[in-house]
């Protein structure tokens, strides 16, 4: 049973201290949007302090509580700046889904034009593991040139798209919009629209975005076979729906997060024991510090 000592401090079943704060009901949806949650509502803010020492936990809790206050303030501002809507026009749905399709193909085209991908990260991980004397296995060599995508990157693209696409089609067939909720929330922020996630038009938009992603992944696979697939022109949100220029920062954040989105979704979709990142390096090696020296 969790132990509560005030300041939102609780000790979980593993005796680790956490900070928890209740989100006001009227802000639950806005907080989920601010946090980029895949859920429609977020009733609690919670963060592990990664310590079992109560005195240290009380010190660590203060900046976390301040961060929670900032999140709640952002959620309040979101409601003020963007009143909740319960409908979208057909033109808005088409514009947003077209933007998503064009953006996905544009990022893939940029990846192929650069001809590098994540090979630099792979090479750095390979070097650190080798220097640390860690035994590992990978079927790929460290690329020595940058004259086009390496075998590892080609494998990565093929593996990610072939993993996500069948799962996406199944979700589309079932009308399972939670599969795409994260992307829809990001798109709505880019277009400065605060849409009620429970309204019928949220589902209509989500299904339209899912159809756009199916088309985009199929186009990426066609490119992977060497077919000349053009990327549609990416129309800026401000020009498409008369969005204020303040949305440009959100668009930049959306673009920055997109590079990892397909890979992350592929990892979650596989749902197997020890998931492997492209290059067949265990995921925990990437997520944790690679080398810890005393």
Q: How confident is the model over 124-155, as pLDDT tens digits?
A: 887 888 888 888 777 777 777 667 888 888 88
Higher pLDDT, 122 or 160: 160
Q: Name residue 46's beta-bridge partners.
A: 20
Per-residue pLDDT band for 217 (boundaries 50, 70, 90) equals: very high
Percent of the chain with pLDDT over 90: 28
Residue pointed to by tokens 């975005």:
209
pLDDT for residue 231 is more than 80:
yes
What is the structure's pLDDT at 236? 77
Per-residue pLDDT band for 96 (boundaries 50, 70, 90) equals: very high
pLDDT for residue 274 is more than 50:
no
pLDDT for residue 271 is more than 70:
no
Per-residue pLDDT band for 241 (boundaries 50, 70, 90) equals: low
Mean pLDDT along residues 44-60: 87
Per-residue pLDDT band for 290 (boundaries 50, 70, 90) equals: very low
Higher pLDDT, 120 or 24: 24
Q: What is the spatial distance between Cα 79 and Cα 238, in angstroms, rounded to a whole number? A: 20
For the segment 278-287, what is each residue's pLDDT rounded down to a tens digit? 343 433 333 3
143-164 in b/e form (b: 16+ CB < 10 A) is: beeeeebbebbebbbeebbebb
Query: Among candidates 189, 179, 185, which has minimal Cα distance to 213?
Result: 179
Mean pLDDT along residues 19-40: 84
Eight-state DSSP code of residue 232:
P
Q: Among 8-22, 126-140, 220-234, 266-280, which range has the highest average pLDDT?
A: 220-234
The predicted model scores a pTM of 0.62
What is the structure's pLDDT at 242? 57
For the segment 56-92, what is each residue's pLDDT rounded down to a tens digit? 888 888 888 888 888 888 888 777 767 789 999 999 9
Contact 212, 100 (CB under 8 A): yes
Per-residue pLDDT band for 250 (boundaries 50, 70, 90) equals: very low
What is the structure's pLDDT at 238? 64
What is the structure's pLDDT at 7? 58
Query: Among candidates 260, 253, 267, which has minimal Cα distance to 34?
Result: 253
Sign of CA dihedral 257, 262, 263, 264: positive
- Counted residue by residue, the chain has a size of 294
Q: What is the mean pLDDT of the chain?
A: 78
């Amino acid at each position: 049973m969790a132990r509560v000592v005030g300041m939102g401090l609780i000790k979980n079943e593993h005796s680790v201290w956490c900070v928890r704060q209740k989100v006001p009901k009227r802000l639950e949806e806005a907080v989920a949007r601010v946090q980029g949650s895949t859920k429609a509502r977020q009733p609690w803010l919670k963060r592990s302090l990664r310590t079992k020492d109560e005195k240290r936990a009380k010190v660590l809790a203060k900046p976390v509580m301040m961060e929670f206050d900032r999140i709640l303030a952002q959620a309040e501002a979101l409601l003020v700046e963007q009143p909740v809507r319960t409908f979208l026009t057909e033109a808005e749905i088409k514009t947003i889904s077209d933007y998503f399709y064009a953006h996905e193909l544009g990022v893939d085209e940029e990846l192929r034009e650069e001809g590098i991908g994540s090979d630099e990260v792979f090479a750095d991980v390979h070097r650190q593991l080798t220097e640390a004397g860690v035994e590992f296995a990978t079927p790929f060599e460290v690329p020595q040139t940058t004259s086009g995508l390496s075998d590892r990157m080609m494998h990565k693209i093929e593996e990610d798209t072939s993993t996500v696409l069948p799962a996406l089609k199944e979700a589309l067939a079932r009308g399972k919009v939670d599969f795409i909720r994260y992307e829809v929330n990001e798109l709505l922020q880019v277009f400065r629209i605060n849409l009620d996630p429970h309204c019928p038009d949220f589902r209509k938009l989500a299904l339209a975005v899912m159809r756009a992603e199916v088309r985009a992944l199929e186009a990426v696979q066609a490119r992977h076979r060497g077919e000349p697939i053009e990327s549609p022109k990416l129309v800026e949100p401000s020009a498409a729906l008369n969005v204020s220029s303040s949305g440009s920062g959100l668009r930049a954040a959306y673009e920055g997060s997109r590079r990892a989105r397909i890979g992350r979704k592929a990892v979650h979709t596989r749902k197997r024991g020890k998931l492997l990142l492209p290059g067949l390096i265990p995921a925990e090696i990437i997520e944790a510090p690679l080398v810890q020296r005393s």
